Amino acid sequence: MRLGSRIILPLVLFVSCYLPYQTAEAKELYGVEIGTLPYGMGRAYSAVADDWLALHYNPAGLALFEGVDFQFTELNIGVNRETVRRYKQYVNLVKDGTRLSTFQALSGRHIHARLGSTSQLTIPHVAMALIYQRTVEFENQNLILPITTIRDTTDFGFAAGFGFGFGRGQNRTKLLRLGLSLRYLRRTGGVQDIVIADLINANTDEILDRFSLSGLGLGATLGAQFQLPFKGRSEYIFSFVWHDIGRTTFGKYTDVERPAPIEPNMVAGFAARFPIGGAANRREARRFGHPRSSSALTLAFDYSHLNINTDKEHFVKHLHFGMNLQLPIISLQAGFNQSSLTLGAGVDLGVVKVNGVSYGEERGSYAGQRVDRRYQISIATGFGFSKL
């Protein structure tokens, strides 16, 4: 991590000197950063989660999982548009950091990159996962008082959860589902606001030490889903999730400096699922209920960060809309993440699954002020069988 930070540090210094003035100082509202398909749906996934992602987005959805799924790894890579556009300038900077023109070409650009890997075993009602996530991003928003905000975090650890349900729905599902998940992570790094004077006066090791803090933390997430007891095969589901209850902190409370915590996030959602195919014969349906098709059109809505008032973060920044057309081999996603259009597609070849998305993330004080366009792709390998 220190080698990568040594490459980033000189870039931060010069970007801080030449970035244009902007008045917005609001922060990005972070959510779950695992998986790719939910981003294509505008991150509206709390009422939808009934697959392996339920462990991370809403553990209540594990109550619907039937069968066995072992995922060797789901590798995801994400960058933003400016990282793609300015890649050549960044390479030149690394090769020759003394060229002022190179720094000026990169000034005023928000840099974002993420690398993650998740290995997971999911069986009926239970899931266990090994998680790795590395995120690096930085930008400066104020030329009068140059402050560079840098996020450099590495999370590595274990997650486990379970879900159970009550009542029988028309499509062989449980009407009320409840779930709990726990994460035990080692976090290294954090989020730091560094003023230009520190970059000029401090030596490189002093700056790097700010991102070498490491500590262990235990976080808990509670989730619930309630399916309306309507007849027929269509499903209408309400959801609530409380991520990182009370805040997930790392290290000892007695430590003066610790890695950045993971803030709590309360999410309320709704989804409507319309099955495609999978009808059973009438006798079986009368006796056991309608089967649940693996192919479906899903519409979803989430209101995230209920615990943050709209006077602190604009109302639209809490909104997430999405749809997913799930077919036997391919899936198509579309939606709005806050005020930005999202698009995604996936291919499921059994042992190999590939997903790609394009989405926008709000970084301004109100929706549409400063949208950061990002791209993410994931490749998953594994095996299993399931009956949803």
Instruction: For 353-381, write each residue's pLDDT tens digit.
Output: 999 999 999 988 887 788 899 999 999 99
110-150 per-position pLDDT tens digit: 788 999 999 999 999 999 999 999 998 877 655 555 566 77
Distance CA 141, CA 44 (A): 29
From 13-22, 102-111, 130-139, the region with the lowest mean pLDDT: 13-22
Residue 351 has pLDDT above 80, yes or no: yes
Contact 6, 208 (CB under 8 A): yes
Q: What is the pTM of this model?
A: 0.84
Residue 95 has pLDDT above 80, yes or no: no
Hey, where are the domains in the chain? 2-386
248-304 per-position pLDDT tens digit: 999 888 877 888 899 999 999 999 999 987 666 566 555 555 667 789 999 999 999
pLDDT at 258: 86
* Beta pairing, strands 235-243 & 214-227: antiparallel
The secondary element (H helix, E strand) that includes residue 87 is: helix 87-95
pLDDT at 119: 97
Distance CA 186, CA 129 (A): 14
pLDDT at 141: 57
From 178-192, 198-212, 242-256, the region with the lowest mean pLDDT: 198-212
Tell me which residue of 346, 328, 333, 358 sits closest to 74, measured CA to CA: 346
pLDDT at 6: 47
Which CATH code for domain 2-386?
2.40.160.40
Distance CA 175, CA 172 (A): 9
More confident residue, 18 or 173: 173
Q: DSSP labels for 154-205?
A: EEEEEEEEEEEEEEE-TTS-EEEEEEEEEEEEEEEEEEEEEEHHHHHHS-HH
